[in-house]
A = this chain, B = another copy of it.
């Protein structure tokens, strides 16, 4: 079932070992515990234990971690014959990306005497960056080899760190939940890669590019864990106190409103008034994406619910009307519909963030302004200019994603990376040892069919 080029016996071990050994060497040279992790440094100051950032952020980190590995991993198991690859490649590229992201983000977030300092916040940031790669994975799901995915991850993490640096450090934008840095960037990067990797004959694998009953249930595990923990995702690196509290609450209501609009739109647009699992699995999450930038701001529950409500609507409409156009006209084969779940809702989130920032006032934020918009609090910039910086950040992100995806897509196209042939897309058995579908089942069928054959011969 495999030919030489897709055989991973030597390629995958070589790539995995070289990447990991490089990572180990770079960590040995460059990485240190920060002062809250290091035994000597922590104890050299007079802290109370509960001041350690671990207690403010570790529960959020674990929720984010679940989203990255269970959420994204299982969300993509909806395909009937691609469950091993969905969970398994998600696992592999995430484990690589989080290490590489630690280095890249550490480099851009500022070195300390030539060293990168790490702790719970850098772990969350590394998981965030990994999330962006996994979004892009969704666009090319089923059509790429694990080596292609590792190559994509290596470049995308780097570009993510550059873009994040431009947005947060140079432009002074705020984007705690990553509507721009994570979702918009990951989606459009992945879409352009999918465009470059366009397969005109993908319909040869079309019968596998759909779900079966239990694969849709596995995918719901991913959906529900993403949905539940999104409040933790958006609030994981916001400032302590009211900021984390407010971000979680805003996201909670945005998601709830999004779920109702998703169900409504799904029944309205799907065949015969029946609900479509693709919408439920994906569009119901758009409210979390769209609250990624403004979630930490004084968006109010009212504003959050409007944002979520709109996000659900545009996401379902995207699945119904835009995805077919993207595929036919623009030749973008977006397996998971990341444009509908992360792309458009990410842009919506960026716009909402720009508007909410633009109208921020001391009247509303009081002394809390320093946490959310430090430059506005110090009087360095007007709130309206903060809004403009947010809008510019969206444009920069789109530019970086499109250009980056273009270059990386062409790199991934190199035949040496072992992409599957058109006839074996969306198929685990090209890269995995795959057991039978059900106990005893094949045997029973074989028995019946042999009996058939015997009689025909007699």
Contact = CB atoms under 8 A, between A and B. Distances in A.
A70 B225 contact: yes
Interface in A421-458: 429, 431-441, 444-445, 448-449, 451-452
Contacts of A220: 73, 87-88
A250 B438 CA distance: 40
A402 interface: no
A42 interface: yes
A59 B78 CA distance: 30
Contacts of A7: 272-273
A237 to B, nearest CB: 14
A122 to B, nearest CB: 9
Interface stretch (A14-22, A324-332, A338-346, A381-389): A14-22
A351 to B, nearest CB: 19
Interface string A133-157: 0000000000000100000000000
A120 interface: yes
Interface string A240-257: 111111101100110111
Interface in A234-282: 240-246, 248-249, 252-253, 255-257, 259-261, 263-265, 267-268, 270-277, 280
Contacts of A211: 435
Interface stretch (A24-32, A170-178, A187-195): A24-32
Nearest to A9: B273
A212 B437 CA distance: 5
Contacts of A53: 245
Given A11-B267, A27-B305, 19 more contacts: A9-B267, A12-B268, A12-B273, A12-B275, A20-B309, A38-B298, A39-B242, A43-B366, A52-B245, A58-B245, A59-B62, A69-B224, A69-B228, A70-B224, A92-B263, A95-B257, A120-B245, A212-B435, A214-B218
